[in-house]
Amino acid sequence: MPSRFSANRKKRGDVSAGHGRVGKHRKHPGGRGKPSGEHHHRTLFWRYHPGHFGKIGMREFHIAKNSYFCPTVNLDKLWTLVSEETRKVYKDRTDKAPVIDVVKAGFFKVLGKGDLPKQPVIVKAKYFSKLAEKKIKAAGGACVLRA
């Protein structure tokens, strides 16, 4: 839009340019940004930013988040960690069982959701849920703990 059509051009010569004579058009009358959220902007903060002020929870001083890091994998996804070829090779063998190291795949804990094929397998992990351990052993496999 050319500047000759702007509202500002139309206001030229008018003393207060549409901003009123009494309450003048000053720079930042309410304050810049979010100041006074607990004072004269309180209703706005209550309405549009509930929970903005205050604290929640308990302080934990030297938080080491890596101690809580424990990615999980369910039994129904366990065989996706090795190739389909590997599963077929060991399908009919009874003297050997494939080893699935879930830690190498980036998981720490094995959970018991889903079913395993009736095929023995050795699973290496840092942690096992009770149900996962029960299902792996029921299929003729073994649970090996590793660091």
Q: List the Cα angle 39/43/45 in 5-degree steps.
A: 85
Name the band, by pLDDT with cuts 50, 70 and 90, for residue 88: confident
Q: Whole-angstrom Cα distance, residue 79 to residue 125?
A: 14
Q: Whole-angstrom Cα distance, residue 128 to residue 7?
A: 71
For the segment 92-135, what is each residue's pLDDT rounded down to a tens digit?
A: 887 899 999 999 999 999 999 999 998 999 999 999 999 999 99
Q: Whole-angstrom Cα distance, residue 38 to residue 146?
A: 54
Q: Whole-angstrom Cα distance, residue 27 to residue 146?
A: 65
- Cβ atoms of 99 and 79 closer than 8 Å: no
The two tokens of residue 85 are 């070829």
Q: How far apart are the first and last CA of the chain?
A: 68
Strands 122-125 and 127-128: unpaired
pTM of the shown model: 0.64
Give the number of other CB atoms < 10 A from CB of residue 85. 8
For the segment 4-55, what is each residue's pLDDT rounded down to a tens digit?
A: 999 999 999 999 999 999 999 999 999 999 989 999 999 999 999 999 999 9
